[in-house]
Structure 1
């Protein structure tokens, strides 16, 4: 097939839903990685199961909705909604069966480490007595026995909820009387820990305990366990973005979402047909599991009293430059821009920056965008403290952050009641940009300080997500921040000098940068691109990368999750390499580097960090920021170290094949783990806190990116 034909053929794209399942398969594969401690492997198993819940609740639910609406619109890879749904469900079932296999194997490994999940019926009578007391005191008061029959309505079971189905018989005649159902309360542990014995750590499962003492719930009946069921509902809420009262509209929609239709049902046995009808599930929405429904609950077995089965503890550090300025962030940033690499360097840097701004009498105003944060966030406390100190504080709260809508509604109400000016951005666009702008009086002028981030202002996820925080007082970048905030709050179209923003200028800026690399190749110069992001599914940008590859541009992409681009295809994408890093931390940063006529890494390159992945929604339907890195030290840190190590990782990386499959990268003669490298570097002053699994290269061994004739001022600004 000619290259032109290939560039028009639907097969040039990989289905995004299948690409997401491939990512979750890579997560699940870590549960079998012998280099990962046993209880951490259990965590990967749990994460993969939790990911599947969201996949069913959003992606599968979306395909179901398309079918109900009669849509025949094909996906970029040429599949109708019906074809996608059939393919996706088949692959998802396979993945869930793999989870069952791995869980079964892990039970044996756990037993080898004296961590046992016991069958209730096999317990010694002393343990039986203990369980009887536990049931009477801890379970019986909160359990509600229900009866089931074809004529009575079914009790509501929330999404992710589990229930035990029982067959109830008259004890003398053994005639079937009715069916019973006990919903397992979310607040109760799925794995109940028994008193330790002979150095053994032992657990029993909640449903087994309820089955054992079911006669206490159904007196006069003989109860036989039939099945445990678990359902997932459609959680993709329909939100009225044009409502007069946006906050109340979102609050109502989120409450209604809890009662979404069932789109997926897991069972470990056989259910009465009338029960399936009442749940409203079709046969192809039911998955029979051999060992355990709700595999995500295995995270409850990750116990702290077996530290040798966990990753060694790691304590994130505060950047040395901040400490050298006695914790004065304004002085640190005035000296030169500051890059903070999370989670290796602490997210407390962002918190302390805001706290300093709140307490500094010379600070006049603070503006911040919040997409996700924690319920007890110190960032929120700092913003409230700033208001109480008399400062002007404006916070853009994005109500449409999926699955965080309720938390953000509560956050908005809390901030408003404390005097913060809360805005909700533009109705037609989610605000996904991560920005803070602080204005401070210094002498006879006002000085602004900006923070741009690739991740959310969430102290919890910042401990496990790899992200980049960029602090600057560069006049161009802080002015662009101010104008972009004015766009969010005042709906004015901004004219920015250096920062590109969605929905207007990120896409054309990226197109210009990629085409510039093609022009360099045509002129006989190197053309090279390094990209790091979470997802790559935008059709126009993928076709542009194909065109660049055919022009001779060398492209390396480090993508965490979905990737619809097909690399290494002759005549289409020979010059494109796609990698994925999966390990201790979740890769989340977005970094884009363009060689600008030189081989990467180079001091001549054009370098950006961004809040946006290469997805249509990020390009066209969100407020996003793509920020050029202009400071030389920040530039060297991001391109010459962070990106170099990411593209060089061999211990945690997978490489995408032309057929869309993934293969682990061979460790090679000098194996490198990006996560271990950055942990060792950040904690070099306290190596006892975290020893690397594998010897890592010295930072001095990384390639220099500034050539002798490189000039500090040659990185263009206006063209960005």
Structure 2
């Protein structure tokens, strides 16, 4: 076997950004899939827009900055920044066409069959016309502010992601063309319900354009066209030290609003004259101009779905998440975790026990300290309230709040301030690193001495997203993991460099070293002719050294199965290189967010969960956590979960050698939708538990908790089931 193979050959890699667009196209396919409920298809189309917006604000913005200085170094696939920028925009233009074809030819006609109409002015009844006319003059007119664009009044600043109307007009009896812009106010709902039918709607910009002439007395409006800009919104925070990090982040948040324009969306009916004016004023390349045949910014579809009355049958049917009674607020959660480890699989398992863990810790007199990392939390987080209560109850509470969590910076700065006011000790992590691990450590005094209780997870401590992100978590009192967790918090809060960790693996570098070690071991065993099987599930795979190592293992005969929701820079089907690698992607009702790493070395299996994807940022520039699942029954459950997802033949798409993704051919095989199966199993378990409780009513007297100790109801409007 020849060993002189360059596993870093650019031909062996797919460009990261183009792979991301392929992922968003898989989301778009869900909006075109007639087997999905109709209103959910509208939401999938809305998601493609919000995904694309964030992608341009961050990733495309970074490419634009590199291209502007002629950065010469190519990426793993051999493309320069300028080549990537042009290729991304070319592919995004094709996606735009597909998005609006889906909307106009498929989804809008389909919802009209159910009595839902998004109307133009010409389609209004007399009653509806009088309504929108009054709505404009009574509600909108006093708020609207036209901004002239001429030699004495410069072109106004157009804020990121705002909806605007460009106006071309002339003064009566004169021929000189004048220009103005008008921002569509976001203090009003974009989707306006019309009278006369329960599901007739019109967009606010349609109303404004119809009556915009009222804002320009003695002038004639020749044209009014909607447009939107996407700006560079990436933070550029200097981190010489963390003492003023909050101030630095807050300052950058203000500056971010004025980033360069990297994408301009305009109505396709706009005149060349008006488009030229906008292009010149916004200083944007031609390839970054997107002409839209329909309403700009499809995120309005999510608002539309929320406002539709009835038609619940056109949405996903609700399911009941399972909660073990031993982990609810009527039981001692510490006793439950002392008895054995607990594996949580959200959203099929309720997130409530994680919140309850913090609640009971906040009021338990034997709890001495709570230490926790927070990357993203909800806008009204019960966890934040309980951490504050714990501090007020005299517990030592240390919270690492990652104030650099992208697009959650403002929310996290707010919570950091609130936690400090409540008496918590708040830290902001290590210089140059984001803290992305999900870890809680509770220190409790017990009869036998100090005991450490832990929760480790693959996803955020966010009680809202836990309802539609699939994640996994582990409750344990494992002593070695507890020592490791203590060392992690000492490393984050002070000056500590533990020489080794017992069972946990920490990035930067630690997770890379661990997986490299496993791949080396797998390669060695495979060369000896022993069966080796590696199974991994993650959001993204883009790290070049890690992909090269997977290629090397594959070449040696290691069987590698990968479930990757999003970016995959690895190519399959390269003869002699990736013959033994298969890649699946699942896009469905829930966002697949859990990370699973399983190693089977000649029948000796080990199971790990992690907060980290195999991306360079996760392995090199973030504090991440990879932890083992040691309890045999829980390890088997992880195995079953992975195997169920691997055999999914409804939502799974398989990566092909040409970088396309194809649905599994299930001819002659029964349909298996993993997410649907998990929801069914959760509901069955929940219903069986309720039936057991009905058959065995307790006769024990339950002491009433004081108001201070009562569990707090989640009042964020989300369905806790």
Matched, 1:523 2:528: yes
Shift of 1:346: 1.3
1:226: which partner in 2?
224
SS at match of 2:601: coil
> What is the deviation of 1:309?
1.1
Match of 1:135 in 2: 136
Q: Which moved more, 1:187-196 or 1:648-657?
A: 187-196
Where does 1:104-503 land on structure 2 (aligned, <5 Å)? 104-105=104-105, 106-149=107-150, 152-171=153-172, 173=173, 175-176=175-176, 178-197=178-197, 201-243=199-241, 244-268=243-267, 269-270=270-271, 271-302=274-305, 303=308, 305-322=310-327, 326-494=330-498, 495-503=500-508
Q: CA deviation at 1:326?
A: 4.2
Three-state SS of the structure 2 residue aligned to 1:605 is strand
Cα distance in 2 for partners of 1:585, 1:157 equals 35
| Superposition map of 1:582-621 within 5 A | 582-598=587-603, 604-621=604-621
- For the residue of structure 1 that corresponds to 2:407, the secondary structure is coil
Aligned-partner SS, 2:630: coil
Q: Secondary structure at the match of 2:180?
A: strand
Aligned equivalents of 1:489 and 1:500: distance in 2? 18
**What does residue 26 of structure 1 align with?**
26
1:175/1:124 CA distance change after superposition, 3 Å: farther
Q: Distance in 2 between matches of 1:5 and 1:150?
A: 63
DSSP 3-state at the match of 1:403? coil
Query: Is the CA contact (8 Å cut-off) linking 1:6 and 1:12 kept in structure 2?
Result: no
Give the aligned length: 679
- State the Cα distance separating 1:152 from its structure 2 match: 2.4
Instruction: Name the SS for the 1:567 alignment partner.
Output: coil
SS where residue 619 of structure 1 aligns? helix
Please say if residues 370 and 396 of structure 1, whose CA atoms lie closer than 8 Å, have aligned partners that are also in contact: yes
Q: For residues 292-314 of structure 1, what are the alpha-carbon distances to aligned partners after superposition, in whole Å with 9 as ceiling and x for unaligned? A: 21112221211352201111123
Q: Label 1:634 to 1:150 Cα distance change in 2 as closer, same or farther (>3 A).
A: farther
Task: Provide the rounded CA distance (Å) in 1 between the counterparts of 2:349 and 2:215.
Answer: 52
Q: CA deviation at 1:405?
A: 1.0
TM-score of the superposed pair, with normalisation by structure 1: 0.91
User: Is the contact between residue 650 and residue 671 of structure 2 (CA under 8 Å) also seen in structure 1?
Assistant: yes
Q: What CA distance in whole angstroms lies between the structure 2 residues aligned with 1:503 and 1:592?
A: 18
Looking at structure 2, the residues matched to 617 and 304 of structure 1 have their Cα atoms a distance apart, in angstroms, of: 44
* Counterpart-to-counterpart distance in 1, 2:303 and 2:221: 28
Q: What is the SS of the residue equivalent to 1:226?
A: strand
1:406 positional shift: 1.1
Q: Deviations over 1:606-641 (max 9, x none)?
A: 1110111001111111111110111112211112x2
CA distance in 1, matches of 2:45, 2:476: 40
- Report which stretch shifted further, 560-569 or 491-500: 491-500
| Aligned mates of 1:2, 1:104 — CA distance in 2 | 55
Secondary structure of the equivalent of 2:141? helix
The 1-side partners of 2:484 and 2:506 are apart by 10
Mapped to 2, the partners of 1:142 and 1:472 lie a distance apart of 56
- 1:169 CA displacement: 3.2
Give the direction of change, closer, same or farther, for the CA distance of 1:617–1:127 in structure 2 (3 Å limit): same
Query: Quick one: structure 1 residues 395 and 21, their matched pair in 2 at CA, closer, same or farther if it must change by over 3 Å?
Result: same
Decide which moves more: 309-318 or 50-59.
Answer: 309-318
Mean Cα deviation higher: 252-261 or 667-676: 667-676
Alpha-carbon contact 1:167-1:176 (below 8 Å) kept: no
Asked if structure 2 preserves the Cα contact closer than 8 Å seen for 1:434 and 1:611, the reply is yes
**Alignment partners' CA distance in 2, 1:625 and 1:596:** 23
| Contact 2:199-2:309 within 8 A present in 1 as well | no
Aligned equivalents of 2:57, 2:682: Cα separation in 1 = 38
Aligned equivalents of 1:429 and 1:237: distance in 2? 14
Alpha-carbon distance in structure 2 between the residues aligned to 1:8 and 1:472 = 40
Q: CA separation of 1:664/1:221 partners in 2, compared to 1, >3 Å: closer, same or farther? A: same
Q: State the TM-score, normalized to the length of structure 2.
A: 0.91
* Structure 1 counterpart of 2:647: 648
2:672 maps to 1:672: yes
Q: Which moved more, 1:489-498 or 1:10-19?
A: 489-498
Cα deviation, residue 2, structure 1 = 8.1
Q: What's the offset of the Cα at 1:226?
A: 3.1
Shift of residue 221, structure 1, vs aligned partner: 2.8
Secondary structure at the residue paired with 2:378? coil
1:461, 1:214 → 2: CA distance?
40
Q: Kindly tell me: are residues 27 and 168 of structure 1, through their superposed partners in 2, closer, same or farther at Cα, counting changes over 3 Å?
A: same
1:347–1:462 contact (8 Å) kept in structure 2: yes
Q: Structure 1 stretches (4+) deviating beyond 6 angstroms?
A: none
- Distance in 2, matches of 1:440 and 1:224, equals 73
Decide whether the 8 Å contact of 2:8 with 2:76 is kept in 1: no
Q: Which residue in 2 is equivalent to 1:704?
A: none
Q: Measured at CA, do residues 687 and 114 of structure 1 come closer, stay the same or move farther in structure 2, by a change above 3 Å?
A: farther
Residue 131 (structure 1) shift:
1.2
Deviation at 1:532, TM superposition (A): 0.3
> Secondary structure at 2:142's aligned position in 1?
helix
* Structure 1 range deviating more: 504-513 or 607-616: 504-513
Higher mean displacement: 97-106 or 140-149: 140-149
- What secondary structure does 1:667 align onto? coil
Match of 2:557, SS state, is coil
Q: SS at the partner of 1:141?
A: coil
Aligned to 2:682: 682
Residue 562 of structure 1 aligns with which residue? 567
User: In the aligned structure 1, how far is the partner of 2:548 from the partner of 2:632?
Assistant: 32
RMSD: 1.9
Deviation at 1:688, TM superposition (A): 12
| d(CA) in 2 for partners of 1:686, 1:433 | 30
Q: How many Å apart are 1:64 and its aligned residue? A: 0.8
Residue by residue over 1:254-302, the C-alpha shift from the partner in whole angstroms, topping out at 9 and shown as x without a partner, is 1111111111100012334233222122222211112221112221211
* Contact kept? 1:453, 1:469, Cα under 8 Å: yes
- Answer yes or no: is the 8 Å Cα contact 2:127–2:195 preserved in 1: no
* Residue 549 to residue 134, structure 1, CA distance change in 2 (3 Å): same
8 Å contact from structure 1 (residues 150, 275) kept in 2? no
The answer on whether the counterparts of 2:127 and 2:196 sit within 8 Å (CA) in structure 1 is no
Conserved? CA contact 1:651–1:671, under 8 Å: yes
